[in-house]
A and B are shown apart, each in its own frame.
Chain A
């Protein structure tokens, strides 16, 4: 996991498998930054994610639910096709915004602030 924080925006480049083993680490990593550094936009780059199941999806949805009441949001970028298929079945793309690239995710919504 690669981390970068800039102006209340946390960028995480995730890798490997997002399952019950890694879900808890990811949850803590994001929640810490929301609480301590007042991060309000979380961008998750999933390019190097090889696998996701409902435990991984649950952490992403959980962070969305935590950020929304704080006026924040979560954005997902670079999703591999086979990972997107699982996400789609969960309905997550109906709630969370997906982008092709990190740049596109950063750009969107910036003017509104």
Chain B
């Protein structure tokens, strides 16, 4: 497997969340992830991108969300970043059921954590948030080494 990288830069609009999911589903399929793993990748990306728009940019359009994919021999790395309001206390924000919006469930980070092998959140108030997630390829289990 050659190294590969893709970057998707898009406006902070709700309809772009589906496009981000389509991209990760295509890349996941090309990497031969099982269907189940592709579903998980879609949820993780959907949560990270939705957070950037809903929380980072407070639902306002006219801002930019960046999704970067890096593929190497053994892993797919997804980085979603915004230049929005930032998170004052990342540890607290990542607690299950914690949300600053009473209408929401506070499960976004829970889903990202359960569906990815690694999750890292880097945030600075008034500067923005970068969420990076890794899913291992585990190709040795299914295909012979090439």
Contacts and interface: CB of A to CB of B under 8 A. Distances in A.
A binds B: yes
Interface in B99-145: 103-105, 107-108, 110-111, 114
A55 interface: yes
Contacts of B114: 89
If over half of A's interface residues share one DSSP class (helix, strand or loop), that class is named, otherwise mixed; here it is: helix
B104 A58 contact: yes
Interface residues of B, number: 23
Contacts of A20: 14, 17, 50, 53-54
A89 B105 CA distance: 12
Nearest to B59: A20
A17 B107 CA distance: 18
Interface stretch (B40-48, B62-70, B73-81): B40-48
Interface of B: 14-15, 17-18, 21, 35-36, 39, 42-43, 46-47, 50, 53-54, 103-105, 107-108, 110-111, 114
